[in-house]
Structure 1
């Protein structure tokens, strides 16, 4: 937690420093389409998760020379990504929900097509992504018997286990024994994920009437998010496409 606070403080100081270099602040919000790719090394295989999300936050344009600026920012990002699998009488789905704090530092060049009316800008740069919370909701159906669970991706703890339609047939003691057995298997597999990710972000934006903005871009992860022994044969990369609107003061 101390490391998280120090990181956020450093980002805030960097943003504040922009005021001395003719900074312009903007508020941005929009939707995201996360794309998570899990790669299995042996045997080689891929499993992709797609979803939806939203983001909101602010950034500062620190003008360096005409047309060129450095833009640090601070954003909250929520994403949901889904994976489904069906084999014979087995059906399972996973929905991973992430609450993230993203700190981008963009290098931006703007083409002022019509002063104070229309401009186009290109940007690219690194993004530090910090996980505030991440859980996976799992639902498994085998021969009409359904099991639902919630797994904390950072702590590696199975938070809850339910048997929709069959809870009355399962005692509290039996449920706890099953949770303990599943937890032991999860610990052995080492499915935990890292809180920190470094991404590369790039995109294009349009500014109207000097203030209103439309922005779209793509971020792709550079760090394997798996943290436990599972990473010996698997890796997980977090990517996302996004589009949003903003207002620059």
Structure 2
């Protein structure tokens, strides 16, 4: 298991608001391999985006500071969030996720191409256990553990309003359980096992109940093969919104 970088732990523990967390996190340089990769990608670029000024830094979460529903991904994509500076923005995975969020009334529009495109999330905060784009989309366990203090700080700040959480994929599921425990939710033994649709209600002495829900990741590997369909994703998101008591908004309706 990796040891969290002392500087990142201190910085994360000192923030007092989501806005301050996002600004401080975006300056982190704790993981040399990730720093080198994200900056190389931002310098070399992909030919389709050669006119873009890449973000090339850690990507903070998006969504309101009083979110009732959290969605936990894996890490930013090299030419998605690492390019645009916003989680899931500008890549195929984001295309699927934001279309589903809009369909169930949790996002103002079905697409997200740039940080200034007008997207609004309703009661939802999207974040990840790793905030830098990793080579081959595979952060190491040490990098996950080094980045843990940022997720811990974020969940502490969200704790008063957070009522449900959708976790995208097994990596994120394993990463978030110890963070939830540190924030005050009791993780049952044996620990909940990840699966699409897996669900546990977590409680604690000083925290509101939290519905923890598993969902296959919105990666191209899953969506192109049909392992995760838009209808499957929308059902999970709609159920999570109901658990969070988020009011229904206009959307495209359920898919069959």
TM category, shorter: under 0.3
Greater RCO, 1 or 2 (C-alpha within 8 Å, sep 6+): 2
Higher-strand-fraction structure: 1
Which structure: larger Rg? 1
TM-score, length of structure 1 as denominator length: 0.26
TM-score, length of structure 2 as denominator length: 0.26
Higher-helix-fraction structure: 2
